[in-house]
Amino acid sequence: MTTQPPTVVMSRTSSTDVSDYPFQKPHFLSVHDLNEATARSLINRASDYANAIRDNVPIEPTLVGKHVVNLFFENSTRTLASFDMATQRLGGRVTNLPMETSSVKKGESLVDTLKTIDAMRPDVIVIRHGSAGAADIAAKTVDAHVINAGDGAREHPTQALLDAVTVTRTFGDVSGLTITICGDIKHSRVARSNIALLSMLGADVRLCAPPTLLPDDIRDQGLGVFTNLADALPGSDVIMALRVQTERMDHSVIPSTREYHQQYGLTLDRLAVLAPKAKIMHPGPMNRGVEIDGNVADHPTKSLILDQVENGVAARMAVLHALISQDGHQT
């Protein structure tokens, strides 16, 4: 008789605790679907998963018999691969839909595509779309759970969650840290989700960008807003660089990528003012030599960029587990 290895049972508390059912709704569309307690419960679970993956410890397969469809209308490397791996690590099945070869190219509407996929009875649809609000439309259209994997310039909630997991695993907590988000904030769904989640978790969030890459209403939000990197960096524990999103901007907002790098690029020289323990993050994909230099992105002690990628699988496992396990336990 063979002995089965023990599986890690990840529940930290009783079965009716917020830790087990952090979502009030059957979907995860926005970081505003969370509160501080539910965000922390997801971060804790994700961190447990990350430890288990690192240590090669078997994980309780809570998605056995469940099917996840990744419906990506925009390109992705990190998010798509990590939802795929997260599903498989939890024992679920996954279908990745290459929308560039789908019937969308023949003029099928988003709603018709969603109804078609939902008729195949998946348990979860993970959607990335170029239009703000697409994930909300999906949630209103389908019976499956919906996870927003990025909708236009609006939200990317699982990216913010994995970033919070990464900061928590590095510093012990998000609360009390000064986190400076630097770059194309106006066009960034990552910035929008991170501003809300990191602030909810007690960080002092600063923003730094050229005036043309700041949202019009940003000064009403009570955040530190800087247009000069030299003013924003001192005292920062984390610098989160954002990609210059040339596909979402016209050419009037920055004179050139070379000039952008001269004024806002993260270089080792510029980062010398930071405390030795300060860290660099970037959601990817990166424009090396534009918003970040290669020797900063690859820095062996300062860069958390590959930790973010690693924690992305664990964070998405926590979200998938939470949505599936609340079936039948809706509040």
Residues within the interface to ligand CP (CB under 6 A)? 76-79, 150, 159, 283-285
* Rounded least distance, CB 317 to ligand CP, Å: 16
Is 76 or 170 the residue whose CB approaches ligand CP more closely? 76
* Rounded least distance, CB 58 to ligand CP, Å: 28
Structure tokens at 256: 């050139």
Is 76 or 96 the residue whose CB approaches ligand CP more closely? 76
Is 74 or 293 the residue whose CB approaches ligand CP more closely? 74
> Could you tell me the CA-to-CA distances from 309 to 161, 176, 277, 293, 296 in Å, in that order?
12, 24, 20, 19, 16
Is 261 or 282 the residue whose CB approaches ligand CP more closely? 282
Is 79 or 236 the residue whose CB approaches ligand CP more closely? 79
Is 68 or 233 the residue whose CB approaches ligand CP more closely? 68
| Cis amide leading into 122 (omega within 30) | no
Using CA atoms, how far apart are residues 331 and 23, in angstroms rounded to an integer? 9
* Rounded least distance, CB 27 to ligand CP, Å: 19
Edge-to-edge strand order for the sheet containing 279-281? 224-226, 204-208, 178-182, 238-241, 279-281
* Rounded least distance, CB 111 to ligand CP, Å: 24
* Rounded least distance, CB 167 to ligand CP, Å: 16
Is 43 or 240 the residue whose CB approaches ligand CP more closely? 240
* Rounded least distance, CB 270 to ligand CP, Å: 23
Q: Which of 195, 148, 150, 176 is nearest to 33 (CA)?
A: 148
> Could you tell me the CA-to-CA distances from 142 to 27, 122, 158, 268, 271 in Å, in that order?
11, 10, 20, 48, 47
* Rounded least distance, CB 105 to ligand CP, Å: 21
